Amino acid sequence: MKRQVDFLVIGSGVAGMSYALKVAEFGKVCLIAKNSLTDTNTSMAQGGIAAVTYSPDSFKKHIEDTMIAGGNLSNREVVEMVVREGSAQIQQLINWGTKFDKNKEGKYDLAREGGHSEHRILHHKDKTGEEIQRALTERVLQHPNIEVLEHHFAIEIITQHHLGKQVFRKDTDIECYGAYVLNLNNHNIYTVLARTTFIATGGIGNIYQSTTNPEIATGDGIAMVYRAKGKVTDMEFIQFHPTALYNPEERPSFLITEAMRGSGALLRNQRGEKFMNKYDPRGSLAPRDIVARAIDNEMKISGDEFVYLDATKIPEEELKNHFPNIYAKCLSLGIDIAKDYIPVLPAVHYLCGGIEVDTDARTSIKHLYAAGESSSTGLHGANRLASNSLIEAVVYADRAAKHAISVFKTIDFNTQVPSWNDEGTTHPEEMILITQEFKELRAIMSNYVGIVRSDIRLKRALDRLNIIYKETETLFKSSVVSREICELRNAINVAYLIIKMAQQRKQNIGLHYSISSESSKQ
């Protein structure tokens, strides 16, 4: 079955939906969600969205905070653009119905998080992402030009490879014509032809054992672009959130927002000792890479499985009002955060790399855009400043929309695209193999490609990954397409990119830290 749209959107988080709402004023949109429309990385964002709102804050301060957190690897032009354009996009979210918390004076109640020199985080309690998702979802479902396909999975973006044309003179010759999409309800595969395609598939957290990401985060968009010979960059920079709730029975890990440390919570080891000032003068409000490595080191020294976050000095009323979700969650586990320390440990939270894009969110593949966590814009450099992700997503979605609107009518549909060919494939007899290989992949990445790495660990990871890769590709070619086999295949591609780019990075900076690089200096 073939269908044609002006704008194909893969992913339903803040980037995908804000883009869809803007381009829908000019043409027909198809928006694809792997699960439900609201099952996204965005909906799980707790802390908030960073933007310059009131004095004494300034664009200059936000720009410098971002550059410092990124190890000065951030693209300054991009940082300045996002910071300066952010305010207008915040207003757009408000116009769409997002409600940010205000104080008694009627001003926005701005929080402060690690690495920020001022209070500049707009939030909705401790469920900011959920509030943004709610507002955008209502708008999207009401728009007559947006067709929403929930429980649909993009298998591959369509390029010349699918026309039997394998040779390109240069990277810029590759064009995107849409995507092959699997209906997870009836297992039919659609050929969706599009003048422009926008990837907003989120992060990669579920290739690790411990992550704050929802189950959808398997790097699907990044893997599709990599297989299509598009440019992917900076995959070694994976941010571990320092404070995920220690609860081994739960997946994904429950996040304890950084805003709690901004309100005065302190990190302690299991002996009750404050330890962060040994690692950084900013203490518990140091950037996430420093805090995560410090916690990792404390756990290795002591052999403990977690450290504590002490929020007992924050007034109980403030805890209940500002962090109701966290308060209720901990209480359900017998932890009264007004009186008890919260057990925490680092968990994979955010990818700073991804599909390389320019300032209009264009990828190296023609007619293909990307934004949000699946993209690499240059904003984050070696480490993301807290709460910069949502603002980046809406700014780049806006830029992508403006560019796509300006060109889409000049792009013809490629009617030569064949339907998906699954002749000769069968249902795999042992689905347990896919489940087992995913578990093995997560163990490889967690054990060898975590917060602290080494040349030996990375080589061992790559050797083991190659075995899983060969087995999975054989299975994919002989099996009827399923979500499970596609996710495993994508996750393996993404893991490969992370390992290879970590091997190539010889300098310890930001989120990449190798003991081999450290020892080579001595």
CA distance 384 to 69: 7
Q: CA separation (Å) from 13 to 51, 53, 153?
A: 19, 24, 15
pLDDT of residue 440 exceeding 90, the answer is yes
CA distance 197 to 16: 11
Given pLDDT bands bounded at 50, 70 and 90, which one contains residue 280?
very high
pLDDT digits (tens, 9 = 90+) for 247-269: 988 989 999 988 899 899 999 99
- pLDDT, mean of residues 336-360: 97
pLDDT of residue 169 exceeding 60, the answer is no
Mean predicted lDDT score pLDDT of the chain: 93
pLDDT of residue 114: 82
pLDDT of residue 146: 98
pLDDT of residue 477 exceeding 90, the answer is no
Order of strands, edge to edge, in the sheet holding 238-245?
Answer: 238-245, 342-351, 307-310, 266-268
Give percent above pLDDT 70 in the chain.
97
Annotation marks residue 293 as catalytic: no
Q: Which of 367, 32, 23, 351 is nearest to 202 (CA)?
A: 351
pLDDT digits (tens, 9 = 90+) for 198-231: 999 999 999 999 999 999 999 999 999 999 999 9
pLDDT of residue 439 exceeding 70, the answer is yes
pLDDT of residue 269: 97
Residue among 120, 268, 288, 489 flagged as catalytic:
288
- pLDDT, mean of residues 433-445: 93
- pLDDT, mean of residues 461-485: 92
3-state SS string for 191-206 = EEEEEEEEECCCCCHH
CA distance 356 to 324: 38
CA distance 347 to 73: 23
pLDDT digits (tens, 9 = 90+) for 374-424: 999 999 999 999 899 999 999 999 999 999 999 999 999 988 899 998 776
CA distance 479 to 485: 9
pLDDT of residue 166 exceeding 90, the answer is no
List domains and CATH numbers for the chain.
2-42+127-236+352-410 (3.50.50.60), 242-347 (3.90.700.10), 432-520 (1.20.58.100)
From the number of C-beta atoms within 10 Å of its C-beta (0-12, 13-18, 19+), residue 295 rates as: buried
